Structure 1
Amino acid sequence: MATASHSTLTTSGILEPAATQPPTDYKPRYIDIGINLADPIFRGRYHGKSRHPDDLKGVVQRAQEVGCTKLVVTGSSFKSSRDALKIAGEFPGTVYTTAGIHPCSSSIFSKSHHRHHDESQSEGEEGGEAAAEEHTPACGPDPTKPILDGEGVDHARTETIISDLKTLIEEARTGSSPPSLVAFGEFGLDYDRLHYCSKEVQLHSFSAQLALAASLQPQLPLFLHSRAAHADFVRLLQEAFGPRLERLEKGGVVHSFTGTASEMHALMDLGLFIGINGCSFKTAENCEVVKEIELPRLMLETDGPWCEVRPSHEGWKYLIETPKPPPVSTSTLEPAPQPNGEGGGGEAAPLTKRQQGKKNQKKEPEVPERFKVVKKEKWEEGAMVKGRNEPCTIERIAKIVAGIKGISVDEVCEAAWTNTVKVFGVVEPQ
């Protein structure tokens, strides 16, 4: 079936073709650009303890059932990047990866860091072995006292870290055909969580990794992180790739975006894509920002196991499906009680058994669940675990974006699919 297309004028004044309109028989298809499948929680481990069997295969299967056939697993440290590559080997053609050092994992560049960078597992490593297996929630500031600047960076160690990261990337690019590594990252700046790494060290980490990313031949697309650090974030990108990022050959996405509308437009003007997940719908202001994202710059993600859409989020209302009341048959209506056998007023008649049964019926959920959801203590095969966000929930992200923009889910899906394939190349040419 032929499809229609049109062009969109971007904020930078460039006429850019929009995503092709989906055909009438279109089935939604998704690529989750940010899913942390390397986190131990997808193997049944919580805070360092095993709570249920490894159910990673079930997680991937549920994603495929909703049409999410491509998953890009985030690498945020040496360990998580290597673990992500192993998972890609388990699910060839479905799972792809990134490799980089998250700003909250960047303490490996500091003088005060005493463990080898290849052993540092995640942002939570300072809390001991259990914390090292548990990543920090990916959105929202933390009130913990920040680490102040002044600890200094270890330049000798930096050379080793960057050399090892380059080796990891080069080996991953030649280790499978087609390569499962599709982006450099996750890396960037996070000033909301300076309790994991000081601003001084984060800036050093980001700058050093940008230099490596620019030197790669061919370059990789960038998988970027920016929280409350827009000015420094853009400045370092421009220093590495030019004022218009003209030397950034493969583009990049700023994932899990929660910034302002002006920040978002500035990023789009630089040619970057915007990744949207549950954290992007928290407030009415967040939703207004999502409304202004141009479809040719949109990508979708879950950022599981975190960033699920919650009832407290402004975007939740777009998921609510109010069931229509069943038609009422006049033959089943009960006559109204009559005082003294005549008009209104008087005591109400007791409820009939039918009326009592309807009153006691369990209320249907406002937002239906596609899969059964259980607590981890009551894990069962085929069910989702409560509080553990999965890639199958990406259909909710698309539905909310569509509701905010007032367009069809199909348009959102096809635009995000087209954009992601263009940048990350996760679908082989036909």
Structure 2
Amino acid sequence: MKRFIDIGANLTDEMYQGIYHGSKKHEADLSHVLKRAWEAGLSKMIITGTSLSDSKAALELAKTNENLYCTVGCHPTRCGEFEKEDTSPETYLEELLQLTLDNRGKVVAIGECGLDYDRTQFCAPEIQRKYFEKQISLAEVTGLPMFLHCRNAAADLVQILTAHREKISGGVVHSFDGTQEEAQQILDLDLFIGLNGCSLKTEDNLAVAASIPPQRLMIETDCPWCEIRPTHAGYKHVTTTYQTKKKEKWEGGVMVKSRNEPNCIVQVLEVIAAIKKEDHDKLAEQLYNNTMKLFFPSETE
């Protein structure tokens, strides 16, 4: 059976507690979600930390299962939290560091951090850049790889990473949806590229994804978002489908319509294998080995 590692699973999201836009639609069903994931061949999952509080929640969830791990960091759209009235930037950064140092068995990367110029209404670009650089120092101190976010900001992301590349052990730019040129710039920094449903929406996306060497790729779901939808260019290559029901008609053991889950990583593999004309089993093993090498090096030595 194929082995998978989901490098980006937002399992702390309220949707897995049955809450959508603040409204409770069904009972918490994370246990069902995890059961489907393990049955689909997931051997590990990395829960994304997107702020100090969310990183703490991700860590607590990771502690409930030996195959769950997490990242610690602050998402670019939440970097304003560094300067909130009830804290100081130094204190916030120190708490992120301490959380990481105290839980080395579970925290496998610094992130999710980076730049997001599509949603600057949440945090100004200059604030994003400032605290992205601060978080690079966390990777330097801990020796952990970075779980990187980039939306419409590749030029600045590459510039900052180039300036500090020697400080970090490595990393992956997840949910990549950029151009061929941007992909090459990331590869030139000796970083990995993570693909999910959001990376496979258009024919241009597929062409870029097809060009990335298999030894530099990882896959993820970024659940509960980034599902591969019927309107996406990549969908025509999906062969595994699931029974779903609307959230209002929730039923145990059945997936919620339009809510992505880790088990859907199988579909991401199917699309990438098709566009790269690669054998599914062989590609899955390559992606698994890439992920182990970056995030779990002690297990591969």
> Smaller-chain TM-score range?
over 0.9
Letter in structure 2 aligned against 1:188: G
Q: Which residue of 2 aligns with 1:248?
A: 168
1:395 aligns with 2:266: yes
Ranges in structure 1 where 5+ consecutive residues have no aligned partner: 1-26, 118-156, 174-178, 321-367
Residue aligning to 2:117: 191
**Alignment length, in residue pairs?**
301
Is contact 1:182–1:426 with CA below 8 Å preserved after alignment? Answer: no
- Using the alignment, how far apart are the partners of 1:90 and 1:426 within structure 2? 22
Q: Is the aligned partner of 1:304 residue 2:226? A: no
Task: Give the 3-state SS of the residue equivalent to 1:188 in structure 2.
Answer: strand
Of 68, 87, 94, the residue aligned with 1:95 is 68
- CA offset digits 1:373-428 (Å, max 9, x no partner): 11111111111111110000000000000111111111221111000000100884
Give the AA of the match of 2:148.
L
Contact preservation (8 Å) 1:225, 1:256: yes
Q: TM-score, normalised by structure 1?
A: 0.68
Contact 2:139 2:168 in 1 (8 A): no
Q: What pairs with 1:7-406 in structure 2 (closer than 5 Å)?
A: 27-92=1-66, 94-110=67-83, 113-114=84-85, 116=86, 157-173=88-104, 179-216=105-142, 219-240=143-164, 245-249=165-169, 251-319=170-238, 369-370=241-242, 372-406=243-277
User: How many angstroms apart in 1 are the aligned matches of 2:58 and 2:45?
Assistant: 11
Per-residue CA deviation, residues 237-281 of structure 1 (Å, 9 max, x unaligned), is 1222xxxx34422x1100000011111011111110000000111
**CA–CA distance in structure 1, aligned partners of residues 73 and 280 of structure 2:** 32
Bigger helix share = 2
The CA distance in 2 between the partners of 1:399 and 1:267, in whole Å, is: 24
The separation in 1 between residues aligned to 2:52 and 2:139, in whole angstroms, is 16
In structure 2, list runs of 5 or more residues that go unmatched.
Answer: none
Contact in 2 for aligned 1:188/1:226 (Cα 8 Å):
yes
**% same residue:** 44
Secondary structure of the corresponding residue to residue 45 of structure 2: strand
The residue identity in structure 2 corresponding to 1:109 is F
Contact 2:110/2:138, CA 8 A, preserved across alignment:
no
- Matched residues in 1 for 2:135 and 2:298: separation? 27
What root-mean-square deviation, in Å, do the aligned CA atoms of Structure 1 and Structure 2 show? 1.6
- Is the CA contact (8 Å cut-off) linking 1:186 and 1:223 kept in structure 2? yes
User: Under a length normalisation based on structure 2, what TM-score does the superposition of the two structures give?
Assistant: 0.96
1:162 Cα deviation (Å)?
1.1
The structure that has the greater radius of gyration is 1
